[in-house]
Amino acid sequence: MPELNQPIVGPSERPAEVLIDPIVGVDLGGTKILARMIEPSTGRAVGRVKAQTPSGVENVLATVAEVVRQVPGWDEAVGIGLGVPGLVETDGTVNRCPNIDGWDEPVAVAAELIERLGKPVVVANDVNCGAVAEHRAGAGRGMDNFLAVFVGTGVGGGLIVDGKLAEGKRGMVGEIGHVTVDKNGRMCGCGERGHLEAYAGRAGIDAEARRRAKAGSSSLLIDLAGQGSVRSRHIERGLAENDQLTIELMQEAADALGHALGNAATLLDLERIVLGGGVMDKLGEEFLESITSSESFGGFGPSVVDLVLAQRIDDAGAVGAAIVAADRFG
Ligand SMILES: [Zn+2]
């Protein structure tokens, strides 16, 4: 069992017992597992317990159960919501988690945890949890038809339709990173060609910058990243220093995002699209503006939808997981 941090309840937080219908929200990530006690109706969170993510499915499940039991007020919790970085079927089976060592086959996570914890458990995709947190407690409050898109290493999204998280049969609703923006375009990490993620995700930007650098373009971006990966702060610096390749790549990223988001807004009659994730957090309003003003903006254009930055809720994954669980418990 990995060493657990001591549970911490901040002095300004009220004790867990006064939360209404509290649920333990858990964010299972590639490096850490974090659990908090959440009031789903407001997104308010108290207590925080963390552990390192071990390798191997059995160790991961045992650590999740242990972390949950250590959350202050656990006895009062009506259930558990768990966000995982993988595709989740509606019965709580997680098909695989590429970011977690040794998890490459389907596991009935909800059933396993119900057995260990004796309370109801709902499992959801972590990006969907982030979208739900923005919907309930962030920039999507009050919106019934709303898409949250997170632009980081890859591009993921979560869709709210008529006030509810849309999940689909295979948990793939909101996978906007893999919509096609140019069928003859760049290779995506998934093996298909021309997907949004290959243009707007940091991994795609990194790969393209290195390809163009090899072909002779000078690149501050690659100089900054060196042997490591291109980070959002490198992109920010490249833009600030007017590096030509960075400017080109980010215009292509903005065009690809505008194209895909405009089509999504038109198809789904969205009220708002919220944009979060490392790239958006770093580049902020200026990059948002280049998406909105892109000539490639899809569908009926930017006037039909409101594009805003995410509110970056603390521990959004855990908060969202608890809300998804509460909505499922009814
Ligand atoms: Zn793809």
- CA 179 / ligand 1 centre spacing (Å): 7
pLDDT at 4 over 60: no
- CA 178 / ligand 1 centre spacing (Å): 4
The Cα 163–Cα 143 span in angstroms is: 7
**Residue range 249-278: mean pLDDT, rounded:** 97
Q: Is the separation of the CB atoms in 125 and 105 below 8 Å? A: no
What tens digit of pLDDT does each residue of 79-106 get?
999 999 988 988 899 988 888 888 989 9
What tens digit of pLDDT does each residue of 182-201 get?
999 999 999 999 999 999 99
- CA 191 / ligand 1 centre spacing (Å): 6
Which among 260, 52, 22 is positioned nearest to 147, based on CA atoms? 260
- My answer on whether 303 and 255 are in the same domain is yes
- CA 192 / ligand 1 centre spacing (Å): 5
What tens digit of pLDDT does each residue of 38-84 get?
999 999 999 999 999 999 999 999 999 999 999 999 999 999 999 99
What tens digit of pLDDT does each residue of 148-164 get?
999 999 999 999 999 99
Residue 198 maps to a domain: yes
Kindly report the CATH number assigned to the domain that includes residue 322.
3.30.420.40
Give backbone dihedrals phi and psi of 272, rounded to 5 degrees, phi first: -155, 145
- My answer on whether 291 and 319 are in the same domain is no
Return mean pLDDT, the chain.
92
Residue 34 maps to a domain: yes
Instruction: State the residue for tokens 């991994």.
Output: 203
- CA 115 / ligand 1 centre spacing (Å): 36
Structural domain count of the chain: 2
Q: What is the CB neighbour count within 10 angstroms for residue 1?
A: 9
- CA 157 / ligand 1 centre spacing (Å): 13
pLDDT at 32 over 80: yes
* pTM for the predicted model, two decimal places: 0.89
3-state secondary structure of 136: helix
**Residue range 134-157: mean pLDDT, rounded:** 95
- CA 312 / ligand 1 centre spacing (Å): 25
pLDDT at 300 over 80: yes
Residue 6 is given by DSSP the state P
- Bridge partner residues of 292 (DSSP): none
Specify the pLDDT at position 1.
45
Residue 171 is given by DSSP the state S
Residue 9 maps to a domain: no
Residue 222 maps to a domain: yes
Strand ranges for the chain from DSSP E: 23-28, 32-39, 44-52, 80-84, 93-94, 107-108, 121-125, 146-151, 155-161, 164-165, 272-276, 306-309
- My answer on whether 120 and 155 are in the same domain is no
3-state secondary structure of 126: helix
Indicate the pLDDT class of residue 2, thresholds 50, 70 and 90: very low
Residue 188 belongs to domain spanning: 141-309
Q: Is the separation of the CB atoms in 270 and 305 below 8 Å? A: yes
Percent of residues, the chain, with pLDDT higher than 70: 95
